Amino acid sequence: MGNMIWALGAMSGTSLDGVDAALLLTDGEVIEAFGASAYRPYSPQERDTIRAAFGRWPGEAGVEQAAQVVEDAHFEVLHPLSASAALIGFHGQTLAHDPGGRGTHQAGSGERLAKRLGLPVAWDFRSRDVAEGGQGAPLAPFFHHACARWAGATEPVAFLNLGGVGNVTWVDPAQPEPEAPGALVAFDTGPANAPLNDLMLTRHGVAQDEGGALAASGQVDEGVVARFLQTDYNRLPPPKSLDRHFPDLGQAVAGLRDADAAATLVAVAAASVAQGFAHFPKPPVQVLVTGGGRHNAAMMAMLRQRLPCPVAPVDSVGLDGDMLEAQAFAYLAVRVTRGLPLSAPATTGVLQPMLGGRISTS
């Protein structure tokens, strides 16, 4: 066990709602304490600037403008909490993710942020994993392992994060190290909130289906769900990861009335998770749901209907489901400074446990 330090992590996810920031006291192995947290929403104009750069790479049109928005928003949410921190974990905003192709691209410079905040910043968490043949995602699983042990779990549990994309981590808390064989299985399950958010924006001019009210009033088109489950990605074994774009899904629900389209998109998300259960070494005793999707009552109902075990928000075991990813990057930042791995074959498909990230100092 190393020295416990207060690290401040931040996350801006694919759903583009805003930036979460949270303090964590950790040595990069065990969680000692959770600290203050904050949230800074993106304005519609900021969201548009970032969205316009989706799918683009460094040097391409709009990327630098998006990076500026990302850095400014992060500075605003991190600065008030930074006096309590010795280290910042900055993920940036994923604009493009193409493991096995062009790589992975998160907008925002940790170097510039370190100078503005006057603190060391750990960042660029994914590139090394991708360069070594890994998927570069998901990266929260090592933190989920620490969370399961913090919560006192003794049997396997699954953490299901429903952001723009869904990802799941199966954790065996009996394994003391997250990189140990058999400790973790993790992968992106498929779409979560992104297609529904896109539908709401296109058809209603609002950012999301608040509480899942529209989806709850609709009828699921099971044909669309069944066809989606036959797509190439869904049939791949893990490890595997996704970008946020699901154009075929948008087209598949284009002819449905609003409520039915919303219900069908929620069902696709839940069914993708259920299909993923086949990849777990043994069934989890519980699925703990984190991220924005847990506030969608229709999504939670659909998960309970389709999954073979109890489903509960992660908050039910004392964790903060809104801040788990920000806390994860605080945790990973400390692992970067200590030279501990961030990923492993069972989380990203990289050939061996992989170090990652870089540190920029002020």
pLDDT at position 232: 84
Residues 6+ away with beta carbon under 8 Å from 65: 49, 53
pLDDT at position 1: 62
Peptide linkage before 156 cis (omega within 30 of 0): no
Q: Are 207 and 177 in contact (CB under 8 A)?
A: no
Q: Are 305 and 270 in contact (CB under 8 A)?
A: yes
Tokens standing for residue 40: 């800074």
- Name the residue type at position 280: F
Digit-coded pLDDT (tens) for 316-356: 999 999 999 999 999 999 999 999 999 999 999 999 999 99
The C-alpha angle 103, 188, 23, rounded to 5 degrees, equals 85
What is the rounded distance in angstroms from the CA atom of residue 165 to the CA atom of residue 241? 9
Q: Are 31 and 331 in contact (CB under 8 A)?
A: yes
Q: What is the mean pLDDT of residues 4-10?
A: 98
Tokens standing for residue 4: 């416990």
pLDDT at position 164: 85
pLDDT at position 16: 84
pLDDT classification of 113: cutoffs 50, 70, 90: very high
For the chain, domains (ranges, CATH) are 5-138+323-360 (3.30.420.40), 152-317 (3.30.420.40)
The helix or strand, by DSSP H or E, that contains position 199, with its residue range, turns out to be: helix 194-204
The helix or strand, by DSSP H or E, that contains position 204, with its residue range, turns out to be: helix 194-204
Digit-coded pLDDT (tens) for 251-270: 999 999 999 999 999 999 99
Tell me which of 241 and 361 has the higher pLDDT: 361
Digit-coded pLDDT (tens) for 301-326: 999 999 999 999 999 999 999 999 99
Residues 6+ away with beta carbon under 8 Å from 86: 5, 6, 7, 119, 120
Strands 184-191 and 165-171: antiparallel
pLDDT at position 207: 87
What is the rounded distance in angstroms from the CA atom of residue 66 to the CA atom of residue 85? 26
Digit-coded pLDDT (tens) for 149-187: 999 999 999 999 998 889 999 999 999 999 999 999 999
